[in-house]
Structure 1
């Protein structure tokens, strides 16, 4: 339910208008806090840009108050959408990155309610929220989601926010709906949505259905839905800002927002939101960028997997590195680079794996990881000399192939070379940290 994030951003801006007295205390008391103390572990990414903020926002599939209309029988916390909001240290720009819920990533070890820890494994990224949130524990859900996003992006997450269906509906209703312009009529039974083509203002259940609809619109993918949701987000934010001089609309909007909001303890309150609002309210619209992490269907690497997507490297790594270093992302350039290399996937990359660590069997282990990620491993063996550094060597004409491989092997150095025509040489060094699947 990505569209609620516009409400998050808009509500933060609206909070800057000032809230006092009874209203302040009521709204302040609405916000729940997730206790993350001791749950995130010590092995976290370093904060490379003091002053910048990375906020993980979750659209929760909580059905509280919804009856059985959107499903029943849920015992875990359900996440419908994950996003990372990066706010620059100079507060002159911000980037919102959508992480498709079908992203195939590594879920790291997470604490569970019964005191046990889960094992690292690969799955859809939205499993992390459910895994940590067994029996409805939002703190555990938040912690596992943060650990998973940090593990796969290298970004240090500073804050957490989550909102459910009811909160989203309330925010849209408070601003008297949002205009959308579907090019074709919509009849989506799963999203409980029936709409005519053409521009119209929607709210309530229809607005919720519009942002949840998937299979009846576009190509039916989660990434296609994200694009539609981002447009809705922008419209909701603009509509909310237009209501700044309407006290009732302002209160209703903030009531809906805060009543369905859970944050980390540091951000749990109207005052922290107000302080954040003051720091970002001057960001111009043309420097607030919404984008989706570059990705493609995993089926291209693993023919049997028709349900997931994998992040496209090196573009995904370049995106997250830019944000970690607080460098503004050029959306058009990123998308153009991703489109240019879209035809090249791991299934088209041939690799020879050499063990430079001195640990027996290392080449075979890494070869198995590479095959799981879709690469063609043609040979394995031992390097002529030990190596501290993991390297990727490529023959003439295979630089793009090397970028695909090095993007899946964090920290690997890349250089021209290699001895086998048409084959990359991956030498495993002591610094090897695994293969991104």
Structure 2
């Protein structure tokens, strides 16, 4: 999550820096990734022209100076994944973290050797590894990640940015460090961190270790780590705006950030970054919203899975719909709406095949079962014009949990529906669970 704070801080600082004096010295720092036609043509529409969605990946690369964090990996790795939404009026921005343990549908992607992966369900950060495996590059890793995020959120991703370990440390060091206040001591061998309890300023390896620590602090989950990362990110972005007023300090920060930055070709360069940033410099701190997609442990739906989380519906769908429509969502509002999750395992579903394709209900049922829905199947009495969700009295909330997973489908009450069961009738428009 802090990588997103770094990218946002870069944009905020460029917007207030005057820009021109930076072009010659920093423009060549930024690496570009040519995505070409790897994203395909079946992508979500941008329904809010002027707004921007930037997918930011914290690259877990172990090359060069990063080798101390683990060698021998055969694929590219992503440590953090988020979407930075910049409003069309440039009056607010949202940074939404997607936990790397999120269990999602990963579409077919091109690997580094030109072969293709099969679509399947797994942790969302595997998409970066698939695209970057077997000789792949950042462009391939980015393309598969973009396809996966678009498939599962319905958001059109306009730009991509990747920041690695070294760039993060350089940004923190240029600010003189960031104050953190752990309530208990943190001793984490994997993160190379030994930190005592209490408020203190961290930088360099300590700062990186603090945002990477997971198993040795708090509840040991990725979502718990995200909370600490969000606090760190808020401090980083705020301190960057407040402290980097001299050309020397600003240059040091931006030099570290841009050297570790890889973007899509359209965004690669100080000028396009400056053009995007120019409208952001006046965004107040209370309208920079640091959010996490609502989620809960998949164990609640699939007891054998103790390693992943699933997104909470309908709250996740509402969040992504609001972003697509360029509607502001605050952390307070999202937290309140997500306070009482209704687990998929509590929603009994009947899938009826209303198409001419034999076995369609069984295919849909298998996908739903992966998310813990108890499912039965059957055939609709007649072919359906389109996919629908119906429910009996008293099951409106359960029906919304199911319907919200299928864009464009609205649940409707049906007094004659099977008691206690939500019915999904497949029509010719059904595109599967994403």
SS at match of 2:58: strand
User: Which whole-Å deviations, capped at 9, do the CAs of 1:202-241 have from their partners, x for residues lacking one?
Assistant: 1010000000001122211111111110110111112222
Q: CA deviation at 1:20?
A: 4.3
The match for 2:222 is: 222
Alignment of 1:27-426 (within 5 A): 27-66=26-65, 68-134=67-133, 135-340=135-340, 342=341, 344-377=342-375, 379-417=376-414, 418-426=416-424
User: Which whole-Å deviations, capped at 9, do the CAs of 1:314-366 have from their partners, x for residues lacking one?
Assistant: 111111011111111133222222112x1x21111112221111322222222
Inter-partner Cα distance in structure 2 for 1:242 and 1:381: 62
Higher deviation after alignment, 117-126 or 53-62: 117-126
User: Which whole-Å deviations, capped at 9, do the CAs of 1:384-427 have from their partners, x for residues lacking one?
Assistant: 22211211111111111111111233332311124322112221
Task: Confirm or deny: 8 A CA contact 2:32 2:264 kept in the other structure.
Answer: yes
Task: Confirm or deny: 8 A CA contact 1:59 1:79 kept in the other structure.
Answer: yes
SS at match of 1:305: coil
SS at match of 2:351: strand
The match for 1:430 is: 428
User: Which whole-Å deviations, capped at 9, do the CAs of 1:57-112 have from their partners, x for residues lacking one?
Assistant: 01000123335421111232210011101111111111110000001111112112
- Give me the TM-score of the superposition, normalised by structure 1: 0.95
Task: Confirm or deny: 8 A CA contact 2:113 2:136 kept in the other structure.
Answer: no
Q: CA deviation at 1:157?
A: 0.5
Q: CA deviation at 1:304?
A: 1.4
Inter-partner Cα distance in structure 2 for 1:201 and 1:246: 21
User: Which whole-Å deviations, capped at 9, do the CAs of 1:239-287 have from their partners, x for residues lacking one?
Assistant: 2222332222211111100110000111111111111121111112111
Task: Confirm or deny: 8 A CA contact 2:19 2:271 kept in the other structure.
Answer: no
Inter-partner Cα distance in structure 1 for 2:396 and 2:66: 55
SS at match of 2:334: helix
Higher deviation after alignment, 63-72 or 159-168: 63-72
Inter-partner Cα distance in structure 2 for 1:362 and 1:68: 48
Q: Judging changes above 3 Å, is the alpha-carbon distance between structure 1 residues 67 and 228 closer, same or farther for their aligned structure 2 residues?
A: closer
1:13 correspondence with 2:12: yes
Give the aligned CA root-mean-square deviation in angstroms.
1.5
Inter-partner Cα distance in structure 1 for 2:362 and 2:77: 37
Q: Judging changes above 3 Å, is the alpha-carbon distance between structure 1 residues 337 and 20 closer, same or farther for their aligned structure 2 residues?
A: closer
Aligned length: 431
Task: Confirm or deny: 8 A CA contact 2:317 2:404 kept in the other structure.
Answer: yes
Q: CA deviation at 1:19?
A: 4.3
- Give me the TM-score of the superposition, normalised by structure 2: 0.96
Higher deviation after alignment, 184-193 or 406-415: 406-415
Inter-partner Cα distance in structure 2 for 1:200 and 1:331: 26
Inter-partner Cα distance in structure 2 for 1:230 and 1:388: 45
Higher deviation after alignment, 68-77 or 305-314: 68-77
Inter-partner Cα distance in structure 1 for 2:195 and 2:87: 39
Q: Which runs of 4+ in 1 moved over 4 A?
A: none
User: Which whole-Å deviations, capped at 9, do the CAs of 1:122-160 have from their partners, x for residues lacking one?
Assistant: 111111111111225011111111111111111000011
SS at match of 1:80: strand
Inter-partner Cα distance in structure 1 for 2:10 and 2:39: 28
SS at match of 1:375: coil
Task: Confirm or deny: 8 A CA contact 2:175 2:244 kept in the other structure.
Answer: no
Inter-partner Cα distance in structure 2 for 1:146 and 1:210: 28
User: Which whole-Å deviations, capped at 9, do the CAs of 1:24-60 have from their partners, x for residues lacking one?
Assistant: 3221101000001211110010110111100000100
